[in-house]
Amino acid sequence: MSVFTATASPVPRLFRRLLTAAILCVAIGPADAAELDAAAPSGPAATLIENVRIFDGRNSVLSAPSHVLVKGNVIAQVSTAAIDVPRDAAVRVVPGNGRVLMPGLIDMHWHAMMVRPTPVTLLSSGIGYSNLLAGVEATATLMRGFTTVRDMGGPAFDLKRAIDEGLLPGPRIYPSGAVITITGGHGDFRPLSDLPRTIGGMLARVEQLGGSMIADSPDEVRLRAREQLMQGASQIKLTAGGGVASPFSPLDVSTFTEAELRAAVEAAENWGTYVCTHAYTSVSIQRSIAAGVRCIEHGHLMDEATARLMAERGIWLSTQPFLDLGGADALGPAEQAKMKQVLAGTERVYALAKTHNIKTAFGTDILFSQELAERQGAMLATLARWYTPAEALTMATSTNAELLALSGLRNPYPGKLGVVEEGALADLLLVDGNPLENLDLVADPAKNFVVIMKDGRLYKDTLPR
């Protein structure tokens, strides 16, 4: 008979709580750690949020004064009438006092493992250090009101697991795993001294870390896609064209062949999910669509005919409001020059998306800059250049959630996201002000988000008890 039983020992549980508390205090400071006390397993069985005006993620007007009851991780009741619950320690009552309640924000193009390190730090550090750095950033991401991110490349599986298990606060992560690229493509960070590549030989450093995988045939693409799915990828990402940050990848280059792209699509569809491709140019976008890709990332250099094709085929556009070179100081002169080409296409991609009514998602694609990450909400606020506040917030909540749902049975968080309604998952923000009148409120989450809830747990609550 084993000396171990099915009953969990209290010692590991206590150790985990103490370790988590220590990490939080070191990483974010005692003041913020107090705000995150609700991350511990204990807490109220229900939360009643009283007297709020609701932006439900879909409608362009606020609700009448309402009350919202959260039980477990689900919104159990939304009512304009008072909700009768016991007023005891089992229920946390949040006095909204007329503030606006809205869904948690969703960033559809995030790189959880690549936000804070520089490229050199990322490639030269051990995965342990990279995960700790990403963990600190994950907490900061959540505290900016982004309760969900779709990770578009990087070894985020362990970080996701730690967050899901409650070891540290962070957003829900829809992971892609390693970006799949070709020799010389966007995501191939090998030095020239690593060439020629030996088929079946030693993996490059970026491959060892799980940042990207190099595949130069349909069979290799199929293998690499299946590896990501085996690890828990909710969608697969390939780089169908050149990129900004990669040293040997001009923007005009089209990388994968249609047959290679189709191999990834077949692998993903066999698992009930989809493929998205990094693609700026019309050629790379059209080739992706021909292969069965469901979502295009970026698209800043596409033409009118390509935009029309995307609309006709119902292809998603996940794009970003790049307006300046913020954070580009980590890049070299050649990469900054490519970034300027992308910036020049920002106005056009949003104009085309609106003209042709393309299904459009919001993301930020922030890399290698903690300073730029702190502007995550400000990037959302820049959508006011093309959209009303209600349209922008709808995009960053229910519309983004609609794209997340393409993962089908590979969805790691079954349930309804991006909306405030009965039966939806309880990811909520209480805003001090009306973001439908002033979208800039989301640019200062430390001041304006007085309550942050994810999965029914209060991670920030600055209201008096």
At which residue do the structure tokens 């689900």 appear? Answer: 74
Strand order in the sheet with 146-151: 105-110, 146-151, 172-175
pLDDT at 329: 63
Per-residue tens of pLDDT for the chain, all 465 residues: 333 223 333 334 433 443 444 444 434 443 444 455 444 444 568 999 999 999 999 999 999 999 999 999 999 999 999 998 887 778 899 999 999 999 999 999 999 998 877 777 877 788 888 889 999 999 999 999 999 999 999 999 999 999 999 999 999 999 999 999 999 999 888 878 788 887 777 788 887 788 899 999 999 999 999 999 999 999 999 999 988 878 888 888 999 999 999 999 999 999 999 999 999 999 999 999 999 999 999 999 999 999 999 999 999 999 999 988 676 566 678 778 888 889 899 999 999 999 999 999 999 998 888 888 899 999 999 999 999 999 999 999 999 999 999 999 999 998 999 999 999 999 999 999 999 999 999 999 999 999 999 999 999 999 987
Q: Which two tokens stand for residue 28?
A: 């974010």
Q: Residue 420's closest CA among 50, 54, 43? A: 54
Residue 127, classed as helix, strand or coil, is helix
Q: Show me where the domains of the chain are located.
A: 43-103+418-461, 105-386
pLDDT at 328: 59
Rounded distance, CA 441 to CA 338, Å? 32
Residue 414, classed as helix, strand or coil, is coil
pLDDT at 330: 64
Which fold would CATH assign to domain 105-386?
Answer: TIM Barrel (3.20.20)
pLDDT at 6: 33
pLDDT at 243: 86
Q: Residue 339's closest CA among 327, 325, 321? A: 325
pLDDT at 11: 38
Angle between helices 304-313 and 282-291 (to 10 degrees): 20
Residue 273, classed as helix, strand or coil, is coil
| Structural class in CATH, domain 43-103+418-461 | mainly beta
Rounded distance, CA 316 to CA 296, Å? 6
Rounded distance, CA 158 to CA 132, Å? 11
pLDDT at 341: 87
